[in-house]
Structure 1
Amino acid sequence: MNYYECMQESINYIETMIYEEIDLNKAADRAFMSLSNYYRLFFAIVGCNVKEYIRLRRIHLAAQDLLSNDCSILDTAVKYGFTSADSFSRAFKKATGFLPSIFRKQERQYIFERVDIMDKYFEEQDLELSEKYPDIKVLKETGSFYGAAFRADSKTPENDAFMGLKAWFDRNNIGDIMPDYRVYGYDIPNSGKEDGTYGYEVVVTIPDDFEVMGEGVVKKHFEGGLYAVTETTVGDIVKAWQRFISWLDISRYEMGAHQCLEEHEIDSGFLKRDFENPENIRINLYMPVVKRSQTEYGKVTLQPVRVAYYREYGNDSEQTAHNVFKVMLTWAKKNRLDCSKCKMYLYNHGFTKVKKFWFEIMITLDENFVFQDDLIQEKIFEGGKYLTYDTSLSHLMPSWQKVNQYAASNKIKSGKHQWVEEWNLDNWECPGKGIKIYFPLA
């Protein structure tokens, strides 16, 4: 069960015990969580702490009793676990604004309904799909959030990223500042090298106005959207993603362009993470999805065209890309190329592991344009047939995953000619107005 389903099991237990003394350790057990993690996630998911939820649910039921029968205030207090009529009256007034006697006399109303997490958070699923994939649920549109992120590139980037973020987390007392914090991680696309190193980033949620300071930690904004969610372990992540892809093929969804997330269990996965044997750490996987009708793809044929190009190799992916952009955009401005008439295409090492990262940028040229440069060369970009998809810089990597998944699920064969991204810039300045993905078609 995912965290939401586990929390619903806990709430179901609370509701069956609402007239009795509730052992919160047992409530946490029903959610398969430690008590501390249960408190934190209950607040994050339900919107109030568990003790407040129990108190307000009992006030709600007591209010119904006061209006529907002649029970005394003392009997009502005892029924709902209060030690005296006075303590009940104080709690009742705090919740409803009225003493019980006045509330009854004036026939007031107070409502605090039982929380149904599955109805509140999840979209209704096709029955056949639910029976075949009972472990996969689709969250309703989630809101955006801010996070403090730490990235590591190494042969053990997960461990390094978690240790780096945990050190910053402790120094800045984030647990006190945001008690309902959550912790997510994700691989960095296109970061794998032949020496076995790759990138991973860990994020802890923070208040929107929190100023992030600290070496290696940056503040990031994550857009909301629809997510398919399932529970797994660190050791079974690959199997879980494969199951997601199979589910996509027969669902009414396709992969979205917002960030994929792995939510790690706080106690065993963050506060007391087992770096030697992390395989059994419990996580929830969030795969971004959109309804199929919301996505628009195009098909075009790019004709062969003369281009100026520059390619650079380097050990740092981001720095190498930065250098290539700087060289080509400086050259375009120097030669007064018209960015409304020229097209700029980019491609790189892609998802393959390489000894050194590399990037290449091509700018289309008018047939009469002549130049000489020590760095910039020219060639013919052959073009070909392409499937296209419009995106933005912030959604670029997830968009490529989305396009690849769309092609696979629709049995679209990839061509052997060069994939590219068309970057639409104003006055040769980044980040630009948008990016168009070109997926080669056979």
Structure 2
Amino acid sequence: MNYYDRIQKSIEFIEDNLDTYIEIEDAADSAKMCSTEYLRFFYAVTGLTVQDYIGKRKITFAVEDIKKDRSDANKLASKYFFSSTEAFSMVFRTNTGYLPSEFLDQNIHYSFPKIDVRDKYYDEQDPMLLARFPDIRLLKHIPKMRMASYTSYGNEPENDACEIIMEYALENNLLCKYCSFRIFGFTVPDSIKSDGTYGYTVCITVGDEHIFKDGPVKELIIEKGQYVVATTTVSNIVETWERFKEWLRLSGYLHGSHQYLEEHLLCSRWREKEPFNDIEINLYMPVKNKKSKE
């Protein structure tokens, strides 16, 4: 299950439990992510923190209750498991602009719809192709990304490149709890040598305001492009590329000229006890429509 599907699964979990107290750890478990990875990736793909999303959805249903039977704040705070009436009222006012007791008199409408990550990111795909390759999803165009990048060479250059990037990210406050950073990597084209060494680039997204200084970490621009994505492990990358090739053969798409990408949840996993070959990644193959002029 790719990272987008995992976030959507967690959204379904949240939607099923809006009338309970939702533990972040439980939502993360439903996405098969640790809490740190989950909080960051949820924000990266939805533009909202998990807590903000939960609050907006609970207030949406609370508004319906107020309109239906004029439920008061005490009852609604209890029904939707807020820590107190005051906490509920504060979240209510933050989202609607009014206290619960004031809302009906304003003659306004408030509703925050359920997020569908798949609708936001997935492009239309042939049903027969999807049935044959359920793990491969065609994405809409990914916008241009500005990156801080570092390239290392060696037998396992991923580790060194990751270490440099994570140090840089810490020094530049790129890893804050609710930052929407994403971590990508790729093997340097034509870098594999007969002795098994090769080059690998690790990069982390940065905003337009980020200023690069002299040093080993350089700016990298990943241009806008369309991809197909699948989740795989390091040991199964070659097998997944073969499935991509078969997908291409049967689809209306060609291999694109833009950069292929591997997306990682957190680089730190490369330094932990998890066997390197078992680490999961999202693998992105660049594609272009056969009808495209590009």
- What TM-score results when the alignment is normalised by the length of structure 2? 0.93
Using a 3 Å threshold, how does the CA distance of structure 1 residues 193 and 110 change in structure 2: closer, same or farther?
same
Partner of 1:71: 71
Partner of 2:89: 89
Q: Is it true that 1:30 corresponds to 2:30 in the alignment? A: yes
Report if the CA contact (8 A) 2:43-2:178 is conserved: no
Partner of 1:308: none
Structure 2 counterparts to residues 339-350 of structure 1, below 5 A: none
Give the Cα separation in 1 of the matches to 2:120 and 2:34: 24
C-alpha deviation, 1:76, in angstroms: 2.2
Give the Cα separation in 1 of the matches to 2:94 and 2:71: 21
The secondary structure found in structure 1 opposite 2:230 is strand
As a proportion of its length, which structure holds more helix? 2
Q: What is the letter of the counterpart of residue 190 of structure 1?
A: D
Q: Is it true that 1:263 corresponds to 2:260 in the alignment? A: no
Give the Cα separation in 2 of the matches to 1:170 and 1:214: 17
The list of structure 1 runs, each at least 4 consecutive aligned residues, that deviate by more than 4 angstroms after superposition, is none
Structure 1 unaligned runs (5+)? 297-442
Give the Cα separation in 2 of the matches to 1:291 and 1:65: 48
Single out whichever of 105-114 and 164-173 deviates more from structure 2: 164-173
C-alpha deviation, 1:175, in angstroms: 0.9
Give the Cα separation in 2 of the matches to 1:22 and 1:111: 20
C-alpha deviation, 1:253, in angstroms: 1.6
The secondary structure found in structure 2 opposite 1:179 is coil
Structure 2 counterparts to residues 375-414 of structure 1, below 5 A: none
The secondary structure found in structure 2 opposite 1:103 is helix
Partner of 1:425: none
Partner of 2:284: 286
C-alpha deviation, 1:73, in angstroms: 3.4
**Superposed CA offset, 1:168-219 (max 9, x none):** 3333332139722111111111223333332211111112221123532101
Quote the sequence identity (%). 38
**Superposed CA offset, 1:298-333 (max 9, x none):** xxxxxxxxxxxxxxxxxxxxxxxxxxxxxxxxxxxx
State which structure, 1 or 2, has the greater radius of gyration over its C-alpha atoms: 1
Partner of 1:274: 271
Give the Cα separation in 1 of the matches to 2:227 and 2:278: 23
Q: What is the letter of the counterpart of residue 282 of structure 1?
A: E
The secondary structure found in structure 1 opposite 2:287 is strand
Q: What is the letter of the counterpart of residue 286 of structure 2?
A: P
- What TM-score results when the alignment is normalised by the length of structure 1? 0.63
C-alpha deviation, 1:84, in angstroms: 4.1
C-alpha deviation, 1:105, in angstroms: 2.2
Report if the CA contact (8 A) 1:265-1:281 is conserved: no
Q: Which has the higher contact order (CA 8 A, sep 6+)?
A: 2
Give the Cα separation in 1 of the matches to 2:33 and 2:272: 20
Partner of 1:102: 102
Partner of 1:59: 59
Partner of 2:144: 144
Using a 3 Å threshold, how does the CA distance of structure 1 residues 295 and 275 change in structure 2: closer, same or farther?
farther
Give the Cα separation in 2 of the matches to 1:199 and 1:95: 48
Single out whichever of 72-81 and 220-229 deviates more from structure 2: 72-81
Partner of 1:220: 220
Partner of 2:155: 155
Partner of 1:405: none
Give the Cα separation in 1 of the matches to 2:234 and 2:123: 26
Give the Cα separation in 1 of the matches to 2:179 and 2:106: 39
Q: What is the letter of the counterpart of residue 271 of structure 1?
A: S
Partner of 1:408: none
Give the Cα separation in 2 of the matches to 1:189 and 1:102: 62
Give the Cα separation in 2 of the matches to 1:178 and 1:216: 26
C-alpha deviation, 1:289, in angstroms: 1.3
Partner of 1:229: 229
Partner of 1:315: none
Report if the CA contact (8 A) 1:153-1:197 is conserved: yes
**Superposed CA offset, 1:366-407 (max 9, x none):** xxxxxxxxxxxxxxxxxxxxxxxxxxxxxxxxxxxxxxxxxx
**Aligned-residue RMSD, C-alpha:** 1.9
The secondary structure found in structure 2 opposite 1:142 is coil
